[in-house]
Amino acid sequence: MPNNKPALFYFFTASCSSCVTGAKSVGAGVAKAGSGVQAVAVDLDPGEPVNIINGFMQDVGNPPLSVVRDDGTLLKRFNVDALGLTMVLDRAGRVVYRGVDPSAAQTAQAIAAAGS
């Protein structure tokens, strides 16, 4: 990841109803942890229109997450097996946390454990 920071990935689709709560919680955890992490929301639906993705992010309060659309590369690399999967990697790229829709507190703790 750029900036020699730990990284957080939140895997979602805008059509996932449970991802609304998950994105809000993860975003709150990232905000609580501060700027010590590169946080990315990864849309797993390559056909989802950008305006729908942007609308989803607005609906969840524009959390401090960069948004990217995956072409399947991250899905395969991280063996994503559920929507709402959150992964935190340390600066060396080692996974220090993997869970589905963690609370804000769990997210902030995972970021701290990654050495933010």
CATH number at residue 105: 3.40.30.10
**pTM given for the model:** 0.93
Q: Give residue-wise pLDDT tens across range 52-82.
A: 999 999 999 999 999 999 999 999 999 999 9
How far, CA to CA in Å, does 49 sit from each of 11, 38, 65, 67, 83?
A: 16, 24, 18, 13, 18
Position 32 pLDDT exceeds 70: yes
Instruction: Give me the helix-helix angle, 18-33 and 104-113, nearest 10°.
Output: 50
Position 98 pLDDT exceeds 90: yes
Position 2 pLDDT exceeds 70: no
Q: Could you give the CA distance from residue 75 to residue 108 in angstroms, rounded to a whole number?
A: 23
Q: How many domains does the chain have?
A: 1
Q: Could you give the CA distance from residue 93 to residue 15 in angstroms, rounded to a whole number?
A: 29
* Number of continuous H segments (helices) and E segments (strands) in the chain: 4, 5
Quote the domain boundaries for residue 76: 2-115
